[in-house]
Amino acid sequence: MERFAPTERTTLKRLPKRGEYDRERVYAILDEAFICHVGFVVDDRPVVIPTGYGRLADVLYIHGSAASRMLRTLAEAIDVCVTVTLIDGLVLARSAFHHSFNYRSVVVFGKARLVTGAAEKMAALRAFTEHVIPERWDDVREPNESELKATTVLALPLTEASAKIRTGPPIDDDEDHALPVWAGVLPLRLATGEPVNDEQLQSGITVPRYVREYRRTKHDQK
Amino acid sequence: MERFAPTERTTLKRLPKRGEYDRERVYAILDEAFICHVGFVVDDRPVVIPTGYGRLADVLYIHGSAASRMLRTLAEAIDVCVTVTLIDGLVLARSAFHHSFNYRSVVVFGKARLVTGAAEKMAALRAFTEHVIPERWDDVREPNESELKATTVLALPLTEASAKIRTGPPIDDDEDHALPVWAGVLPLRLATGEPVNDEQLQSGITVPRYVREYRRTKHDQK
């Protein structure tokens, strides 16, 4: 199974067992989440901005307004760090010290490239929408020429990446097992509420199945 | 009501209506979430790492192993950007272009300071645990001296911060309202699963109420 080659930046120095370089498992995390935190440097100082993303093969795509400062900055092929985090549970130990989270996170390092070709741009936008909500793209009006022009799409090659994963129960010190304290894991997940119809919805239009039954866990790696 | 003074970095250039500088509203977001993404610069390049946090008054605390590269780096009072994001829903418009997320995010800029005083360190760790899961601290064994020594706590003053918020329905182009497409909002929230007892749990210990009834939305600003 193909693996990312660990680099200085993606090698876990502490807790190396939590490191994961398997490309398929890293992609499973990227495919389950849909919000990333993009870090870049402006005037020698860090900036971290949340945004959505999509993935096609070994490329991660982000997009936004052509007027966005972040996208204009990143389009200059500066170094970027894209981090994706899924929180799976609270790990409640008998001591404060051993409390933890169960989580799956991915860190990607690289330089983004501006997507200029019309075909790749449209494919990336489709991938983005289908990533956030599968089956949506074919239902909606595609971007027209002026919308495409107003949208900047950036491609980040998935070449330097790694995941970090914690699963399982709390790990208490032996002597703490005697304490009269509940310990265990409280699982956490993303849940949906009832879909809210737009007020201007035409009569007779019902909530699509892909909205009613929306869930991310089909992407789950387990 | 007290406000953060907008700075060059925290002023929204586009969509200024989404900007929020009211300190109480910014804190409501920080109090509902519990994972932040910490951005910093290493060798002129950005690094973004997810971690938990707590808040006491106008200070945000993060902590971790004294052996952590991130914490050792940040303890040198370098510039940091801490970003917190809550995703409230998918905003499904009739055109791909007008799709969006409902979200509440906070960006904090500053320099972290190493917490050295024993009292502030313990207070910060308590704030951290109580932030993630209220009522837990009093149930568990407090950190002992060697655990405190193995833990680095950093304090980030909340002086340069702002929130960005999107709420409400999709905003479609007028002519798209005639399209036979469902539009609206799919609300998203963090949900809990059934608590999982630790295998070594002593008999007779039941799941505490603060675990069974765990929810973040009591912090909700609405």
Domain assignment present for B9: no
Domain assignment present for B23: yes
Q: What is the CATH number of the domain that holds A90?
A: 2.30.110.10
Q: Tens of pLDDT along B23-74?
A: 999 999 999 999 999 999 999 999 999 999 999 999 999 998 888 888 888 8
Count CB-CB contacts under 10 A for residue A121.
20
Tell me the C-alpha distance between A205 and A211, whole Å.
Answer: 13
Closest Cα of chain B to A42: distance in Å?
A: 10
Amino acid at A133: I
- Its domain, for residue B116, covers 16-171+184-191+199-217
pLDDT at B81 over 90: yes
Torsion of CA A99, A102, A104, A107, to 10 degrees: 0
Distances, alpha carbon A180 to alpha carbons A169, A177, B63, B200, in Å: 17, 8, 26, 12
Q: Please indicate whether residue B113 or residue B221 has the higher confidence score (pLDDT).
A: B113
Contact in structure between A152 and A71 (CB atoms under 8 Å): yes
Domain assignment present for B206: yes
Contacts of A145 (CB under 8 A, 6+ apart): none
Are the beta carbons of B48 and A37 separated by less than 8 Å? Answer: yes
Domain assignment present for B62: yes
pLDDT at position A221 is 37
Q: Tens of pLDDT along A13-49?
A: 778 888 889 999 999 999 999 999 999 999 999 999 9
Q: Tens of pLDDT along A62-76?
A: 998 888 888 888 888
Q: Which of chain B's residues have a Cβ under 8 Å away from the Cβ of A189? A: 190-191, 193
Domain assignment present for A7: no
Are the beta carbons of A211 and B92 separated by less than 8 Å? Answer: yes
Domain assignment present for B5: no
Number of domains in chain B: 1
Helix (H) or strand (E) holding B23: helix B23-32
Q: Tens of pLDDT along A105-159?
A: 999 999 999 999 999 999 999 999 999 999 999 999 999 999 999 999 999 999 9
Nearest to B140 among A95, A137, A177 (CB): A95
Closest Cα of chain A to B216: distance in Å?
A: 11
Domain assignment present for B6: no
Tell me the C-alpha distance between A26 and A84, whole Å.
Answer: 10
Dmax (CA) of chain B: 68
Average pLDDT rounded to a whole number, residues B171-180 = 97
pTM of the model: 0.95
